[in-house]
Amino acid sequence: MNESSPAPPDPAGATERLPKALIDGGRAPGADLGRRLEPFLISVGALCVALLIFGVFLAVDGLNPLDVYAEMFRGAFGTWFSFQNTLQRAAPLMLTALCTALPAQLGLVVIGGEGALVVGGVAAAVAGLAMSHASPYAVLTAMFFAGTFAGGLWIAAVGALRAYRGVNETISSLLLAYIAIALMNHLVEGPLRDPASLNKPATRHIGELNMLGPMPGLDVHWGLFYGVIACLCGWLLMKRTVFGFAASMTGGNLRAALLSGLRVKRLIVVTCFLAGAAAGLAGMVEVAAVHGRANASLVAGYGYTGILVAFVARQNPLGVLPVALLLGGIGASGGLLQRHFNLPDASVNVLQGILFMVILAAETLYGRFSAWSFGRRSAPSRPVGAAA
């Protein structure tokens, strides 16, 4: 669509300022393929570089990086059992990644998925307990709506503050994450506390019958299904609807969006609500399928890893699916690293941090390869925060 093959390579990005018709003149064969392959190739290259750097790290620690990586692969994807464990971990990551990826279409950097997850989990637990005498389907439906609604409102507040008061959404969403955790601690220590939970304060259990079970033929709970469907819906919404087009336009050029009469403020609030609803659903799944109650186990870092997933996927909801699988796998292999190589559990975080930095540094490579000759990256994946 935006190939600038006839135009000379233009590192300064002046083509970005030209009307599209001027640069859309000729279309080199294969350029479309190149444009499609570019994010994939650069991401895979960045992953390799990150593994290389972490390998040096391991070598300094006196370990053979190849051994460690082989073991990680076995622990994440090697057997059916470990693969199911990976899928189980990928499910909440898909949902929390959407919490960053959806607002990113508007040029917003929301990093408070952890807070929406916690709020959604607590709300789902409360709804489940309130309905505990109804049928399991009714309980789960109530939990679903309570979780998504609470998480949605939490991040919608971030969007509203941004739209109507100009409050920076990155910082406010993170502050709200800390507030959410404090609120949860207050509730499970006080009003909602199960007297039987001594060491680790928690709400009462929602009941084994009401738990979200495994999907047919799998040992993986239905949360995976929710995650995949949410990513597909997010992709359809953002890439195939008028709403998504308006969002991309706002993210690409705020002034143009305002001039063409888009209701940008409402767009921001609605997108943030959907983003928060996804993360809240992750909290509901954690409660309904894994823990059975709301407690500090909800604060497991899925929200923060979700930010990484969204950035590695370049904020594309479909790209979130494989990346969540990859990072779920890295997480799943963490325990194995601890047992077999005596590495601290934080080594997974180090690898994730290195990966994050390399992926961000690789942003600078986009559009650099004249052999592929394409103009610029598509608007939604422009440097986030560009639309101030």
Partner 1 sequence: MSGALGNWGVPLAVAAGAIRISTPFIFVSLGECITERSGRINLGLEGTLVMGAMVGYGGSYLTGSPWLGVLAAGLVGVVLGGLHGLLCSRPRVNDIAVGIGLMLFGLGLAFFLGKPLIQPSAARLPAIPLGFWSQSSQVQDALRVNVLFIFGVLLAPAVSFALRRTRWGLIVRTVGESAEAARAMGYDVNRVRTLATMAGGFLAGVGGSFLSLFYPGSWNEGLSSGQGLMAVALVIFARWDPIRCLYASLLFGGASALGPALQAVGVTSGYYLFNAAPYALTLLIMVMSSSATRTSADQPAELTVAR
Nearer to partner 1, 132 or 185 (CB): 185
Nearer to partner 1, 167 or 218 (CB): 167
Nearest to 3 by CA among 370, 384, 380: 370
The CB-of-276 to partner 1 minimum distance in angstroms stands at 16
The CB-of-259 to partner 1 minimum distance in angstroms stands at 17
Q: Which residues contact 88 (CB under 8 A, 6 or more apart)?
A: 220, 221, 223, 224, 328
Output the DSSP codes for 312-323. HTTT-HHHHHHH
Is 54 in contact with 350 (CB distance < 8 Å)?
Answer: yes
Residues 191, 169: Cα–Cα separation, whole Å: 31
In 10 A of CB 83, how many CB atoms? 16
- Rounded to the nearest angstrom, the gap between the alpha carbon of residue 80 and the centroid of all alpha carbons in its chain is 25
The CB-of-45 to partner 1 minimum distance in angstroms stands at 15
Q: State the residue for tokens 């570019």.
A: 38
The CB-of-161 to partner 1 minimum distance in angstroms stands at 6
Nearer to partner 1, 226 or 311 (CB): 311
Q: φ and ψ at 107, to 5 degrees?
A: 80, 15
Residues 365, 6: Cα–Cα separation, whole Å: 20
- Rounded to the nearest angstrom, the gap between the alpha carbon of residue 70 and the centroid of all alpha carbons in its chain is 26
For the chain, give the longest Cα–Cα distance: 72
The CB-of-213 to partner 1 minimum distance in angstroms stands at 33
Q: Residue type at 333?
A: S
The CB-of-306 to partner 1 minimum distance in angstroms stands at 12
Site residues (CB under 8 A) for partner 1? 11, 13, 109, 111, 161, 163-168, 170-172, 174-176, 178-179, 182-183, 185-186, 189-190, 304, 307-308, 311, 344-354, 356-357, 359-361, 363-364, 366, 383-386, 388
The CB-of-145 to partner 1 minimum distance in angstroms stands at 26
